């Protein structure tokens, strides 16, 4: 699609917190906050001519590699939130995109994400095939206070849940959509702990895609209770996250 005349390098979109996006305390679910944040980035990419459909002309797509969200207060049902997003870096094969979430003028959440261009036929990273120089990069405009977590490769874990990828878990890239991993981890946590503790930090690393009908295991570190992993049956790590 052509670049929209309304395109700007910093984009803001408003959302109303819907009933179906809320938990038992009428607060926006963490997973749905992540979904809304990515909806804003998707719409920004559409305006800027680097959306999924634009990239598909070259058999390419954006896939998220790292995603960190810092939350000071979770918005509630019927509140309106404003999500602002901009690109910090974009080198042709990977990009860092930042976000701020305001509610009634209050900064309630910040996020940063690292994306990679993947060839959807070859299933491997490659350089973006479409122009993107019209995006102004905001290299000094950070959003999050912390840094992406560096995960240990070998840790002791305990088993939480085993399951298989369902059709409803897939997205247009024909693999498990990124927010499903977090949803699985939170659901696994709630099996043994149904308390309404507020989540203040989510830091996610996506390491190996999961496809339809693949079996997976959700594991929890025995040293750091906030650290979770999703592994395939052959022991490969597909996903790691910290949930505080």
Cβ atoms within 10 Å, residue 207: 14
List per-residue pLDDT tens for the chain, 244 residues long: 789 999 999 999 999 999 999 999 999 999 999 999 999 999 999 999 999 999 999 999 999 999 999 999 999 999 999 999 999 999 989 999 999 999 999 999 999 999 999 999 999 999 999 999 999 999 999 999 999 999 987 899 999 999 999 999 999 999 999 999 999 999 998 876 655 678 999 999 999 999 999 999 999 999 999 999 999 999 999 999 999 9
108-156 pLDDT per residue, tens: 999 999 999 999 999 999 999 999 999 999 999 999 999 999 998 789 9
Own/partner pairs for 115-118, CB < 8 Å, 24+ apart? 115/62, 115/63, 115/64, 115/65, 116/62, 116/63, 116/64, 116/65, 117/55, 117/60, 117/61, 117/62, 117/63, 117/92, 117/93, 118/60, 118/61, 118/62, 118/63, 118/173
Q: Which string of DSSP letters, residue by residue, matches 19-64?
A: GGGB-TTSBBPHHHHHHHHHHHHHHHHHHTT-SHHHHHTTTEEEEE
Whether residue 85 contacts residue 135, with contact meaning beta carbons closer than 8 Å, is answered with: no
Residue (of 13, 37, 12, 32) closest to 77 by Cα position: 32
| Predicted pLDDT at 195 | 56
Distance CA 128, CA 219 (A): 35
Measure Cα distances from 174 to 42, 85, 170, 196, 232 in Å.
Answer: 17, 26, 6, 33, 17
Whether residue 82 contacts residue 220, with contact meaning beta carbons closer than 8 Å, is answered with: no
Quote the tokens at residue 41. Answer: 């980035």
Domains, the chain, in order of start with CATH, read 10-125 (3.10.129.10), 157-243 (3.10.129.10)
Residue (of 66, 55, 123) closest to 89 by Cα position: 66
Distance CA 66, CA 203 (A): 8
């Amino acid at each position: 699609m052509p670049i929209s005349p309304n395109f700007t390098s910093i984009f803001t979109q408003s959302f109303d917190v819907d009933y179906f996006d809320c938990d038992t305390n009428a607060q926006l679910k963490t997973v749905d906050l992540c979904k809304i944040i990515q909806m804003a980035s998707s719409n920004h990419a559409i305006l800027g001519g680097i959306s999924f459909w634009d990239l598909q002309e070259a058999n390419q797509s954006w896939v998220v590699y790292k995603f960190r969200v810092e939350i000071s207060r979770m918005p509630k049902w019927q509140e309106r939130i404003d999500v602002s997003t901009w690109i910090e870096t974009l080198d042709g094969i990977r990009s860092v995109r930042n976000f701020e979430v305001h509610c009634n003028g209050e900064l309630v959440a910040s996020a940063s994400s690292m994306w990679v261009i993947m060839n959807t036929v070859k299933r491997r990273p490659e350089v973006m095939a479409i122009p993107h120089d019209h995006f102004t990069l905001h290299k000094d405009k950070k959003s999050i206070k912390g840094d992406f977590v560096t995960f240990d490769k070998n840790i002791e874990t305990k088993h939480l849940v085993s399951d298989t990828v369902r059709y409803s878990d897939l997205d247009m890239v024909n693999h498990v959509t990124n927010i499903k991993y977090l949803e699985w981890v939170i659901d696994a946590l709630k099996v043994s702990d149904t308390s309404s503790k507020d989540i203040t930090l989510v830091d996610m690393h996506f390491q190996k895609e999961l496809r339809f009908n693949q079996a997976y295991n959700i594991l929890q570190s025995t040293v750091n209770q906030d650290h979770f992993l999703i592994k395939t049956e052959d022991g490969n790590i597909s996903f790691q996250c910290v949930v505080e």
